[in-house]
């Protein structure tokens, strides 16, 4: 049996950092803000959704991209989301730049940041915009401040995403 105290000095910090980020990411749930007046961007039913994780640390990439994908699909229930580039369909590309939370003294700082590009079936850009949110939350006693900060940052950036996508016009 190895002595627990004999582990490398950096291992506990790495484990703590991994566990603290994983906890917040694992409990975030997809959001849904459907609008009956805008069932799909540009009122086009068929869309291809691509999410490109551009972050330096992509350890939770699958979970974060699935969270974004599910949230988009739930908020645009009238759309049919194509899995691949088969056929000519318009595309929504989300390039993920930041998505995480860290403790800074008595605060939890969370950030959600991505670029959204909507293109028509021929590849012409219809709209491009940033969806950013940065939250700094005090470390309240008895609360999961890490999770609450990340939820708030994700919610704000996602609402900005929906606002932009609902303003996409079919004319390029």
**Domain residue ranges of the chain, discontinuous segments joined by +:** 35-166
Res. 78 pLDDT band, cuts 50 70 90: very high
- Indicate whether 31 pLDDT > 80: yes
Angle between helices 61-75 and 145-166 (to 10 degrees): 50
CATH number of the domain at 35-166, out of 3.40.640.10, 3.40.50.2000, 3.10.25.10, 3.40.50.10610? 3.40.50.10610
Name the phi and psi angles at 100, rounded to 5.
Answer: 180, 175
> β-pairing, 46-53 with 91-104?
parallel
Q: What is the mean pLDDT of the chain?
A: 85
Place of tokens 């000519």: 88
Residue 83's pLDDT band (cuts 50, 70, 90): confident
Other C-beta atoms closer than 10 Å to the C-beta of 28 total 17
Tokens encoding 105 = 């003294």
Q: The whole model's pTM is what?
A: 0.82
Question: Residues 145, 27: contact at Cβ < 8 Å?
Answer: no
Higher pLDDT, 136 or 8: 136
Per-residue model confidence (pLDDT) at position 85: 65
């Amino acid at each position: 049996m190895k002595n627990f105290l004999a582990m490398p000095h950096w291992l506990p910090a790495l484990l703590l950092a991994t566990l603290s980020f994983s906890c917040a990411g694992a409990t975030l749930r997809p959001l849904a803000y459907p609008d009956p007046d805008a069932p799909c961007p540009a009122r086009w039913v068929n869309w291809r959704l691509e999410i490109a994780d551009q972050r330096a640390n992509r350890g939770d990439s699958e979970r974060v991209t699935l969270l974004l994908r599910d949230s988009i699909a739930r908020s645009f229930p009238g759309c049919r989301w194509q899995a691949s580039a088969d056929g000519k369909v318009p595309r929504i590309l989300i390039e993920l730049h930041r998505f995480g939370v860290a403790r800074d003294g008595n605060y939890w700082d969370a950030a959600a940041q991505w670029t959204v590009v909507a293109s028509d079936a021929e590849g012409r850009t219809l709209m491009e915009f940033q969806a950013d949110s940065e939250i700094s939350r005090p470390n309240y006693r008895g609360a999961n401040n890490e999770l609450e900060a990340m939820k708030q940052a994700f919610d704000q950036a996602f609402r900005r995403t929906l606002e932009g996508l609902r303003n996409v016009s079919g004319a390029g």
